[in-house]
Amino acid sequence: MTDFVAARRSMVDGQVRTSDVTDPRIIAAMLELPRERFVPQSDAALAYLDRDIPLRAPGTGAGRCLLKPMVLAKMVQAAGVRATDHVLDVGCATGYSAALLARLAGFVIALEEDAVLAAAARENLKAIGAGKIEVVTGPLAQGFRPRAPYDLILVDGASEIEPRSLFEQLKDQGRLIAVVGRPPAARAVLYRAVGGDVSGWPVFDAAAPILPGFAAPVEFVF
């Protein structure tokens, strides 16, 4: 039987703290959230490993996963989540990232386009008593306009190109963070909207699976 409390502590001490994640709110949230709840039951023992955890439950989207703890924690820290932030979590999958963000922000819109994953997110978040979260469904690359604009958008995966389709849903001074590119050139990039313009800068090297709708268009070579 896996000791999940000990595994959670080991994850935080061995993966998160050692990657320069120093925000005590993130540390506390990751120590409390039962990550094992957000993966297929058969993979619960893998939930705290230093790797992306595939979501292989029947009916879930191919290639979807929970981001490795270090990558998610560093993205959230780089985004500078504030207690008043209205946040869009793009590609929330089974809800772990939304649960983490909700511990830090004012309210989280958790967007998922896979109906099975969205249902799992709702069930998981209800089971742990998570508040300040609304799970919605729709194409990930389109964001969620009915609740825009957002102080922060977190793209819970990678995009091969700049996620410009989401920029217009940011408030002025709003931030967006995503992993952009493919290894070995992939980086976590933090964008900020200022006066109608959006600019970004890399914050750390990272890798993540490409989310649906975020692949680069196919180019024809003549």
Check residue 184 and give its pLDDT.
79
Per DSSP, the residues of 31-65 read HHS-GGGGS-GGGGGGTTSSS-EE--STTPPTT-E
DSSP 141: G
Angle at 163 between CA 83 and CA 100, to 5 degrees: 30
Residues 35 and 16: beta-carbon distance below 8 Å: no
Angle at 147 between CA 99 and CA 165, to 5 degrees: 95
Q: Where are the domains of the chain?
A: 4-205
- Residues 13-45 pLDDT 10s: 999 999 999 999 999 999 999 999 999 888 899
Residues 89 and 99: beta-carbon distance below 8 Å: no
4-205: what CATH class?
alpha beta
Q: Which pTM value belongs to this model? A: 0.94
- Residues 136-162 pLDDT 10s: 999 999 999 999 999 999 999 999 999
Check residue 42 and give its pLDDT.
87
- Residues 158-194 pLDDT 10s: 999 999 999 999 999 999 999 999 877 899 999 999 9
Per DSSP, the residues of 182-213 read -TTS-EEEEEEEETTEEEEEEEEE---PBPTT
- Residues 62-96 pLDDT 10s: 568 999 999 999 999 999 999 999 999 999 999 99
Q: Which residues pair with 69 in a beta bridge?
A: none
- Mean pLDDT, rounded, for 3-14: 96
- Residues 200-218 pLDDT 10s: 999 999 989 999 999 987 6
Residue 203 neighbours by CB under 8 Å, 6+ apart: 74, 78, 177, 187, 188, 189, 190
Check residue 57 and give its pLDDT.
46
Residues 123 and 94: beta-carbon distance below 8 Å: no
